[in-house]
Amino acid sequence: MSIKLNWAVLGTGVIANQMAQALQKMGKPLYAVGNRTYEKAVEFAKRYDIQKVYLQIDDMFEDEAVDIIYITSPHNTHYGFMKKALEHGKHLLVEKSITLNSEELDEMIALAREKHLILAEAMTIWHMPIYKKLWEIVESGELGKVQMITMNFGSFKEYDMKNRFFNMNLAGGALLDIGVYALSIVRSFMTEKPADIVSQWKMSPAGSDEQAAILLKNKDGQMATVALSLHSKQPKRAMISCEKGYIEIMEYPRADRAEIVDASTGKKKEISCGKTEDALLYEMTDMERAVESGDETEMYLNYTKDVMDIMTGLRREWGLKYPEEM
């Protein structure tokens, strides 16, 4: 029998709304909300019939009734909030990118383990049923070894250097915002973390990474290319090329279908699994299961760490530092 877990959400933006709606679908109330602007938290609480609104965000961490906090604030605020929450014994689901860099993440992983808490990144890729199905197919050997992965993700964002996509003070840039999805897929279909990485990048007027092209290879000879852009539209397309065929996934952050093409016959097979609109429901269901069992395996924190190590290494090569890292 599952235990009743009280969720609190930090933030009131798009993801926070989707999170509250996912809990409603699960037939569970959202216990509490906190936000930098108290009035927005009050409005959010009315919308979802939330029992508790915190005057100060720190009150959320100190509330003994809270079991799990979903942090949906900008990347550069995560570390401070995570540290306080973990120190107060809260399990954490944190929006991507989970931290700014590997050092922050390693410290938070150590703290979570010391406190026997579940810490996880809210990365849709880890939880969408279609990926669990595709990983099974690849692991079965049906398609042979994964040889090459090709990833595209490009948005056409308004060229406003003050918005969160470009603003260095809000940890803007393509890598942490959209690259994290592409690299998460790369890591999940590779047998091991890529060690050989080369890249090119284009700086935005604000100093953030507007575009990037990344080439990765691991010790098993598996390779990947990743093309990212914030001011040039691309399809959200993933292609996993194996010896006996390839998998193509469109709209991959929250995909619910994929096409497998046989290399010898050209025959196409479509696989459907799960629903795009239930992306956060899958994340939160897996999170509750991890908290109840104490087993973090399904939250793929090891992959989150590998992806963060790759992104941190790339930004160091580019000389791209956020104000918090100076």
Structural domain boundaries in the chain: 7-121, 126-279+307-325
Count of C-beta atoms within a 10 Å radius of residue 303: 20
Contact 228/211 with Cβ under 8 angstroms? yes
Chain Cα centroid distance, residue 308: 11
Contact 238/248 with Cβ under 8 angstroms? yes
Exposed (0-12), middle (13-18) or buried (19+): which is 263, by Cβ within 10 Å? middle
Sign of the C-alpha dihedral computed for residues 271, 194, 179 and 98 taken in this order: positive
Sign of the C-alpha dihedral computed for residues 230, 235, 236 and 238 taken in this order: negative
Sheet holding 257-262, edge to edge: 196-203, 209-217, 223-229, 146-156, 231-242, 245-250, 257-262, 268-272
Supply the pLDDT for residue 21.
97
Contact 36/58 with Cβ under 8 angstroms? no
Find the helix packing angle between 180-189 and 301-318, rounded to 10°: 120
Supply the pLDDT for residue 1.
46
- Does this chain's domain 7-121 share its CATH topology with 126-279+307-325? no
* Beta-strand pair 209-217/196-203: antiparallel
φ, ψ for residue 115 (rounded to 5)? -95, 0
pLDDT profile of the chain (326 residues), mean per 10: 86 97 95 97 97 96 98 95 98 98 98 98 98 98 98 96 94 97 98 97 98 98 98 97 98 98 96 98 97 96 98 98 93
Q: Which amino acid is at 81?
A: F
Contact 149/224 with Cβ under 8 angstroms? yes
Supply the pLDDT for residue 326.
82
**Four-way CATH pick for 126-279+307-325: 3.40.50.880, 3.30.1330.20, 3.30.360.10, 2.40.50.140:** 3.30.360.10
Q: Which helix (H) or strand (E) holds 45?
A: helix 38-48
Residue 137, helix vs strand vs coil: helix
Both tokens assigned to 276: 């795009």
Contact 254/279 with Cβ under 8 angstroms? yes
Count of C-beta atoms within a 10 Å radius of residue 55: 10
φ, ψ for residue 135 (rounded to 5)? -60, -40
pTM over 0.85: yes
Which residues are CB-neighbours of 324 under 8 A, at least 6 positions away?
Answer: 76, 79, 100, 171
> Class of the 7-121 domain?
alpha beta
Q: Helices (H), strands (E): how many in the chain?
A: 10, 14
Both tokens assigned to 128: 């969408």
Length of the chain: 326
